[in-house]
Structure 1
């Protein structure tokens, strides 16, 4: 302290101000939303103009927008992301995804294909758990979706003012970027949020201090007097007025609090008041079925009265398959998540992540977004990835020397995909996972795209730009065999045949958490996201997507919440 006291007073004040700013302005700080409460404090019966089910990536910007001149209730089945460093800190990525407790912000599920995944259970949704990459949808996607391009652009900008940043590119990510350009993924488009063919540096929702900014931060736009957010408030059923001779009309919901007490929230009387489901690709079709909208045979099997026999609810479930190659490095690399992407003309995207992660508050080594702790176990084919196998992989990982964690993963994922599956109920509880089948690589086009992507990865690894981050005596076949180390996955020596890469794609497939579908536009909802055959009910989230937008969907899901909120406000004022 004696040294500090000799500094000029204005310098001391400046340093104190810097400390204060960094301590209290980070994403870890609870913003003190006066409208956010535990559901246990809610009245048994309440009334609002809009009821939004799901405080996720779409629900938060939608609620903030609608609150400007209406009363809005936002119901989130999870808790708050604020104060949880496993959510906010980049260095702790994966810790929340590996938490299997009932209060975890990530709820693990295993698809019927055998791939381990997770769905969000926290205010802010998947933006609280993902690898942070921020990239817009392409112009063709916007056009085919029938969106107003000008409002789309304005909505993206509204989101980006709060949650999007330019990443601080370091050596390993820069080498991947330059390797992509050298491998022919051109032109180089520099830093941009836009979806453009070639190689680019995209945005990130992690700021320069490594703190995550999520869709929950968009609630700072809300009118506090117009919004109520209730946490730990799973919705069990949508309520309808069902008069003979007219379409059923949504007029409320039933939700439970943490003490198991049932609450009812109803819509105020008015022609534009609505219930909006924003519960994600698993939660939205699940809630429609709970409420009697879905395939009759499924509803009958769970003794759910049929309000509308709609066999397309739960269909069109898709997940962009991801395959990756681990590239050990002879020198240390930075800890990084997705910062660069190669957007190819053959329908495959190339990205990368690097460095040794540590669980928050420990020195437990981890591979970050490719860790077996979170179920990303490519060393066994999907059907063999049991919990016992995952536990064994985690144990084996801790016995590895530190040198085994030097390096990173270069991944490919496919556009679309063409292959789709379906969702089925397992119970009548929103806290239970439904059964989901994605049918990875069922369509040959998807498998060929994976093979093409793996060949591009090979060219990146062998590029001059990437040469300082690879051991030259390790061939691409050796790297593939290291990534898929189970004996049944081993590729033949010197084999680059497509057949071998096809098997590698099938055996090492993982998720990148971009699942979508189940309430697809044109099948379950119309182009205004209104549930067809039902009044005063919409679905606004990724479950409505036929294909995943851009390279990574979170930017477009947040944009969609804002976009539809603005459109609904305009409709309300006419």
Structure 2
């Protein structure tokens, strides 16, 4: 591997593959394609290298990467469903991308989530195989994994998370509420109603990121990596008898303003994520023709699905004060000068709370019975065998987890520095009906797009999330593990104990609903007759040749889990498809050459 400055790379060089975006899926694809030592690969990343970014490798420092040059600083438009608030949707802007700022969580969802895409190349069985391929799972004595669900030879090092005392108590309350404990349920994807342990992309105190596919022990000289380089657009040529233009090069601009075009002889792969892949396609002339005309961009393909179908998992934090010391980890972070000692411990030993992400035990829940009294739920249209959210009884409606100290999105800044202790019960909505969009603000590649997630726009989304938050509150305030340690709600004016109905909880949900950083679906793949599908199921952009998109923007519907492992799975699957097509082309070339002889 070579990590180069822009001015040291000859733009006349021709690469077999150019990968536009050094985030999670992009690094996976680059690393896997480089296993063919004859392949010459260029990886372009808008942000810096992550080698010297301490708050990437130290999982507990994740939020320090935000609101800076290592963050894309995406902020939504005001959204009516959340009291017209704008929501920060931070994304990692450095080599490894959001795999270096996420919650480290390996929650795959269920196989049915992927079978629901109805695409032969991306079944549940195949997606779970791709995700397994990415990982090296490291056991701990106390944890009982399902060995069939874990890989042992991938670049991604993962291990179970040791629970803080408050998490053990939340676990007891989850079980008390009927969510049976199943240790490895988030890897098997077999339980829609229960609780379990979540493996994390942390090993020996160090976060494992997608950059590990192309750095450390996986360095290869046939990859050239250019950081601090933004891809402006893809350039096309019309060649041969084909009526479809072929992607042949990419136009870029460096942080210092240097502009270069780089050529690809085989394929160009866009891996810029759910927010940045759509504007890159649109700047290249592929997108809704009205939008392109508005910004004077010549039309290559009228693709109305580019930027549509934007999805996320809406998340709501509910905080509680604890009446006993040291159940939460607040005393290790916020009290007195504790953080200095904690940081020293990490720097010297790679241990302590900064070596982990402060989320505890997790649960899935079905809400059928709890919603049976709702007229909206009862009267909503549904497919046979599915609920109004489009889910089977083998898929969860919501996810729960607890924080192990006071913390979350940056709007929660009222830290308990006065020797108080607090944690949150988090509730996440699955299979939301609301759909958002990504549109161009400008044809300038250095300007962020316009993002509207339309959170909770659909009444069913509000109904299910409010019921989920209500259920989560019951678990904490009534459960055997936590009811006796709750001193009150945090902040006190929320008065959680007085809330009884879904309607009571709706204002809280509107005020506190936020992103889970799982943006997906904005460049979706689909069948040939799907006019809103931008890609075929091999991730090839319809209407052109030599161009694919391969990141979580391609998901027709976001999985009922978290998207980190999905991003790895998409990268692994894409790499296999690209290699397969490359082998077909090689065989065809050999056949042609043999005929000449």
8 Å contact from structure 1 (residues 281, 542) kept in 2: yes
Q: Distance in 1 between matches of 2:96 and 2:549?
A: 17
Change in Cα spacing, 1:257 to 1:41, as seen in structure 2 (3 Å) is farther
**Inter-CA distance 106–301: structure 2 relative to 1 (3 Å threshold):** closer
Matched, 1:436 2:458: no
Aligned match of 2:410: 371
- Of residues 399, 402, 413 in structure 1, which corresponds to 2:418? 402
The answer to whether structure 1 residue 312 and structure 2 residue 305 are counterparts is: yes
1:337 is the counterpart of 2:358: yes
- Aligned positions, number: 486
Is the CA contact 1:80–1:231 (under 8 Å) kept in the aligned structure 2? yes
- Residue 251 of structure 1: which of 248, 272, 281 is its match? 248
Map of 2:404 onto structure 1:
354
| 8 Å Cα contact 2:401-2:426 kept in structure 1 | yes
Over residues 92-121 of structure 1, what are the superposed CA-to-partner deviations in whole Å (9 max), with x where a residue is unaligned?
231112xx33x2345342334211221221
- The separation in 2 between residues aligned to 1:190 and 1:266, in whole angstroms, is 46
Q: Per-residue CA shift, 1:372-397, capped at 9, x if unaligned? A: 2xxxx5xxxxxxxxxxxxxxxx5xx3
Q: Distance in 2 between matches of 1:112 and 1:75?
A: 32
State how 1:24-423 maps to structure 2 within 5 Å.
Answer: 34-69=1-36, 70-97=39-66, 100-101=67-68, 103-113=69-79, 114-145=86-117, 146=119, 147=122, 151-161=126-136, 162-190=156-184, 193-195=187-189, 196-197=191-192, 198-209=194-205, 211-220=206-215, 222=218, 224-242=220-238, 246-268=243-265, 273-330=266-323, 331-332=325-326, 333-334=328-329, 335=353, 336-346=357-367, 347-355=397-405, 367-372=406-411, 394=413, 397=414, 401-404=417-420, 406-423=421-438
Q: Residue deviations 1:526-557, cap 9 Å, x none?
A: 11111111111111111111332242110111
Match status 1:569 vs 2:579: yes
Runs of 4+ residues deviating >4 angstroms: 148-151, 220-223, 490-493
- Report if the CA contact (8 A) 1:529-1:538 is conserved: yes
Shift of 1:194: 2.7
1:455 Cα deviation after fit? 2.0
Contact 2:314 2:513 in 1 (8 A): yes
| 2:173 counterpart SS class | helix
Instruction: Using the TM superposition, name which of 185-194 and 126-135 deviates more.
Output: 185-194
Give the TM-score normalised by structure 1.
Answer: 0.80
- Once the two structures are overlaid, the 10-residue window that deviates more, 449-458 or 218-227, is 218-227
| Higher mean C-alpha displacement, 448-457 vs 186-195 | 186-195
Q: For structure 2, which runs of at least 5 residues remain unmatched after alignment?
A: 80-85, 137-155, 330-352, 368-396, 527-532, 585-597
2:31–2:218 Cα contact (<8 Å) kept: yes
2:470–2:502 CA contact under 8 A, matched in 1: no
Q: Is the 8 A contact 2:76 2:452 kept in 1?
A: no
Give the C-alpha shift of residue 371 in structure 1.
3.0
User: What are the superposed Cα offsets for residues 7-26 of structure 1, whole Å, 9 maximum, x if unpaired?
Assistant: xxxxxxxxxxxxxxxxxxxx
Report how far residue 59 of structure 1 moved. 0.5
SS of equivalent to 1:107: coil
Alpha carbons of 1:106 and 1:178: their partners in 2 closer, same or farther (altered >3 Å)?
farther
What secondary structure is seen at the aligned counterpart in 1 of 2:280? helix
Q: How far did residue 237 of structure 1 move?
A: 0.8
* Structure 1 residues 45 and 132, CA gap change in structure 2 (3 angstroms): same
Paired residues of 2:360 and 2:404 also in contact (CA < 8 A): no
